[in-house]
């Protein structure tokens, strides 16, 4: 399981999913986490465990897609010595390892029907039987399962047990894809970019050029947060300059200009953002026309009006994304928030105040 447990994001859809996980954590019932690859299902599983009364007990993980069908049952329920060829000694399964804790079953849709039947019995009766054993072992395990498969459709088609789905779906947490998380691409890119710059021992963080950030926000992100992390870290590593905003993004690392326009695997290469490395941008803000409402000769009021207009212009240009607006204005996030409060700025502001 990925140990990067940071929850980065400000979109309502994402925060709603995190809040639902927080509310479900103390309840001793199974939880099903649904989401595309790379959306952070394993992070939700960790949150469910760490905010539950079981936080001090084991959190055990099994990726149901990483093992052949013949071994999944042995991994889940354990086996006795001699139960099958190669079983030279007895071994406890993941259920026994997770006793009094949480068992996270990733890629649940890959379980065989036989394993689903045994899983259902373990959930209903709190008992597991090792392969080759005759006596059950009592376990106290909270199940958290995750998948990107359409389990209700699989149940209708007979490839997933409907009764098991009923038992697992006490609570269903659906994670939004990154393309539906408005404003979060900037937050995530800034976070992973800063972290990579620190790993490379850069003295500062130059951020991304406006063109590069526009390209990041326009990308569809089929691999979601995991893909964004790779793209951002690769961009920082390849840029190699601390004194200029990062201006080149390569979305497809398999680009190959020597295969007649075809990338590895037969895919057409996705072009990088075609930008020359820029010189350091001047510190002065973009020119704007201030809403000067102060009477002639009132210098303090004129300065206040001009400051308000600069902040309002930055916020509007960045669609009221406060962190991007702060960066473009050369302010910290806290300074921007202070200025917004001082001048009464909010999204329905239409003119001078």
Lowest-pLDDT range of 67-76, 189-198, 219-228, 281-290: 281-290
Domain ranges (residues) in the chain: 12-176, 179-266, 284-353
Cα 79 vs. chain centroid, distance in angstroms? 36
Per-residue tokens: 117: 């039947």
Say if residue 187's pLDDT is above 90: yes
Average pLDDT value for the chain = 85
Per-residue tokens: 258: 């020597």
Say if residue 69's pLDDT is above 60: yes
Q: Which CATH architecture has domain 179-266?
A: Orthogonal Bundle (1.10)
Residue 277 in contact with residue 241, Cβ under 8 Å? yes
* Record: fold of 284-353: Arc Repressor Mutant, subunit A (1.10.10)
How does pLDDT run across 225-236, given as a tens digit for each residue? 999 999 999 999
Cα 84 vs. chain centroid, distance in angstroms? 40
Structure confidence at residue 173 as a pLDDT band (50, 70, 90): very high
Residue 296: burial class (beta carbons within 10 Å; 0-12, 13-18, 19+): exposed
Q: Percent of the chain having pLDDT more than 90? A: 57
Q: Percent of the chain having pLDDT more than 70? A: 86
Strand order in the sheet with 31-34: 59-63, 102-106, 142-147, 31-34, 171-174
- Which of 3.40.50.300, 3.40.50.2300, 3.90.1150.10, 3.30.1330.20 would CATH assign to domain 12-176? 3.40.50.300
Q: Which stretches of 51-150 are DSSP H helices? A: 69-77, 94-97, 113-125
Residue 138: burial class (beta carbons within 10 Å; 0-12, 13-18, 19+): exposed
On the CB side of 49, how many CA atoms lie within 13 Å of its CA?
Answer: 26
For 84, 114, 218, 337, the CA distances from 79, given in Å and listed in that order, are: 9, 16, 51, 60
What is the rounded distance in angstroms from the CA atom of residue 244 to the CA atom of residue 235?
A: 13
Q: What is the pTM (predicted TM-score) of this model?
A: 0.71
Residue 351's pLDDT is 56
Residue 4's pLDDT is 56
Structure confidence at residue 302 as a pLDDT band (50, 70, 90): confident
What is the rounded distance in angstroms from the CA atom of residue 216 to the CA atom of residue 53?
A: 40
- Name the DSSP class of 242: S
Residue 276's pLDDT is 43
What is the rounded distance in angstroms from the CA atom of residue 347 to the CA atom of residue 40?
A: 30
């Amino acid at each position: 399981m990925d140990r990067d447990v940071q929850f980065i994001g400000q979109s309502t859809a994402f925060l709603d999913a995190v809040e639902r996980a927080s509310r479900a954590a103390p309840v001793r019932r199974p939880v099903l986490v649904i989401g595309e690859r790379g959306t952070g299902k394993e992070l939700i599983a960790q949150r469910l465990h760490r905010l539950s009364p079981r936080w001090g007990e084991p959190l055990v993980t099994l990726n149901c897609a990483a093992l052949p069908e013949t071994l999944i049952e042995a991994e889940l329920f354990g086996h006795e010595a001699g139960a099958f060829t190669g079983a030279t000694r007895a071994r406890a399964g993941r259920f026994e390892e997770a006793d009094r804790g949480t068992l996270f079953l990733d890629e649940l849709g890959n379980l065989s029907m036989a394993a689903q039947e045994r899983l259902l019995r373990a959930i209903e009766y709190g008992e597991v039987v090792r392969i080759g054993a005759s006596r059950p072992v009592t376990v106290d395990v909270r199940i958290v399962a995750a998948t990107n498969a359409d389990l209700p459709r699989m149940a209708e088609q007979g490839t997933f047990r409907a009764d098991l789905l009923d038992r697992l779906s006490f609570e269903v947490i659906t994670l939004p894809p990154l393309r539906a998380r408005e404003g979060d691409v900037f937050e995530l890119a800034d976070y992973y970019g800063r972290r990579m710059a620190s790993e490379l021992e850069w003295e500062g963080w130059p951020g991304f050029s406006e063109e590069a950030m526009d390209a990041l926000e326009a990308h569809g992100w089929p691999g979601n947060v995991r893909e964004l992390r790779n793209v951002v870290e690769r961009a920082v590593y390849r840029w190699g300059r601390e004194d200029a905003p990062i201006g080149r993004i390569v979305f497809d690392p398999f680009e190959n200009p020597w295969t007649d326009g075809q990338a590895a695997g037969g895919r057409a290469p996705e072009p990088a953002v075609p930008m020359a490395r820029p010189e350091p941008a001047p510190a002065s803000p973009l020119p704007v026309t201030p809403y000067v409402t102060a009477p002639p000769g009132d210098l303090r009021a004129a300065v206040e009006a001009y400051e308000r207009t600069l902040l309002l212009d930055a916020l509007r240009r960045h669609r009221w994304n406060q962190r991007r607006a702060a960066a473009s204005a050369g302010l910290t996030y806290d300074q921007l928030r202070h200025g917004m409060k001082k001048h009464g700025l909010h999204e329905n502001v239409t003119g001078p105040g």
